[in-house]
Amino acid sequence: MTVSSAPGKVYLFGEHAVVYGEPAVPCAIERRATVRVEARDDDHVRVSATDLSLDGFTVEYAGSTDDRPDVDVPASLVEAAMGYIDAAVEQARDAADAPDAGFDITVESEIPLGAGLGSSAAVTVAGIDAATRELGHAIPIEEIADRAYRAESNVQEGQASRADTFCSAVGGAVRVEGDDCRRIDAPDLPIVVGFDGGAGDTGELVAGVRALKEQYGFANDTIGTIGDIVRTGERYLDPDPEGPAATLDETERIEEIGRLMDFNHGLLESLGVSSRSLDSMVWAAREAGAHGAKLTGAGGGGCIAALDPTPETLTALRFTPGCEEAFRAELAADGVRRLE
């Protein structure tokens, strides 16, 4: 038996625009998917996901990846989750040159499905790491990130960036621009997450933005402006010692990052990927005094991320209609963890 875990993430800036080559800065958080893998002596794959949940959002199934599990969430989400596990198995077989390898796989996750916290990337990263190690063929973190990207890209029909998978593999705050992926320094960010209990369909949301971009030049400009926000934001995350942000203290830098997150949310809203519940959580956070707030991930429903060192945003979100769960998210310094 081999066991790996990998973290979820929130986007500080840049989701959607990153699909078109603009930079993005996701940040790994201590909500993990854990994947246990045991090699079989035939070529079958048996998957059981005992808990893909965040309080009250649970998927239970067991069966081969061809079976349709019995669940309490939309079938499309479960199909997507199964697709990521299939794709991870394919990558592990390829990496270990073992095309007929079979596995018993158990997935446990603290990250809700399709809610913008990178559940699919975390399951894919942990799955590839555990399955390759189970076959006696451990691969370096960079290769796990690359193979997880290829797996995710296959499932999302080529409409994926490297951001989610790289962030989950290496941990911390990262900067992704096309194929250029690296960790960056960041201050200790007081991240608060609000979750509306729902989910968005990443493929559909990405396709919607693409359609707007093709139809309207100004939607294309919006994507470029999101890139400008990211380029500005990274100066406050990891200031150039010679640049103007270097004269600010950490609180002032975090305030500026929050302001830029507000801008970023407005632009995502204009691209049609927000929702009433995401907007109302963003406004609840702002009214509670958060430095800034935005949706995270593909949108359509799911989670927002706000910056607030005080308890006010957390309390306000807990009383916001449409917010099912709110929690403080610690930055995950580690990406994939090899547990057994």
The rounded distance, in Å, linking the Cα atoms of 106 and 228 is 41
CB of 122 to ligand MEV, least distance (A): 11
Instruction: Pick from 4, 106, 168, 202 the residue near ligand MEV by CB under 6 A.
Output: 202
At residue 177, the 3 state secondary structure works out as strand
The rounded distance, in Å, linking the Cα atoms of 52 and 280 is 26
CB of 304 to ligand MEV, least distance (A): 14
Q: Which of 164, 196, 262, 308 is catalytic?
A: 164
Q: Is 168 in the site for ligand MEV (CB under 6 A)?
A: no
At 283, list the tokens.
């406004």
Q: Is 160 in the site for ligand MEV (CB under 6 A)?
A: yes
Residues ≥6 apart with Cβ < 8 Å to 242 = none
Instruction: Check if 196 is active-site.
Output: no
Rounded to 5 degrees, φ, ψ at 131 are -70, -40
Instruction: Pick from 16, 253, 265, 294 the residue near ligand MEV by CB under 6 A.
Output: 16
Instruction: Pick from 19, 107, 135, 237 the residue near ligand MEV by CB under 6 A.
Output: 19
CB of 334 to ligand MEV, least distance (A): 20
At 308, list the tokens.
């607030």
Q: Is 323 in the site for ligand MEV (CB under 6 A)?
A: no
Q: Is 297 in the site for ligand MEV (CB under 6 A)?
A: yes
Residue 163 or 282 having the CB closest to ligand MEV: 163
Residue 239 or 272 having the CB closest to ligand MEV: 272
Residue 128 or 288 having the CB closest to ligand MEV: 128
Residue nearest to ligand MEV (CB): 161
Q: Is 206 in the site for ligand MEV (CB under 6 A)?
A: yes
Q: Is 122 in the site for ligand MEV (CB under 6 A)?
A: no
Q: Which stretch binds ligand MEV (CB under 6 A): 11-19, 73-81, 228-236, 263-271?
A: 11-19
Residue 4 or 161 having the CB closest to ligand MEV: 161
**CB of 283 within 8 A of CB of 102?**
no
Q: Is 175 in the site for ligand MEV (CB under 6 A)?
A: no
Closest by CA position to 157, among listed 201, 217, 96, 212: 201
Q: Is 31 in the site for ligand MEV (CB under 6 A)?
A: no
Q: Is 264 in the site for ligand MEV (CB under 6 A)?
A: no
HSE-CB of 285 using CA atoms within 13 angstroms? 35
Q: Is 284 in the site for ligand MEV (CB under 6 A)?
A: no
Q: Exposure pattern of 177-202 as b/e (b: 16+ CB <10 Å)?
A: beeebebeebbebbbbbbbbbbbbbb
At 274, which amino acid appears?
S
Q: Which stretch binds ligand MEV (CB under 6 A): 39-47, 159-167, 234-242, 256-264?
A: 159-167
Residues ≥6 apart with Cβ < 8 Å to 169 = 6, 125, 141, 142, 144, 145, 148, 335, 336
**CB of 201 within 8 A of CB of 114?**
yes
**CB of 167 within 8 A of CB of 12?**
no
In the complex, the residues that contact ligand MEV under the rule CB under 6 A are 15-16, 18-19, 160-161, 163-164, 202, 206, 297-298
Catalytic residues: 164
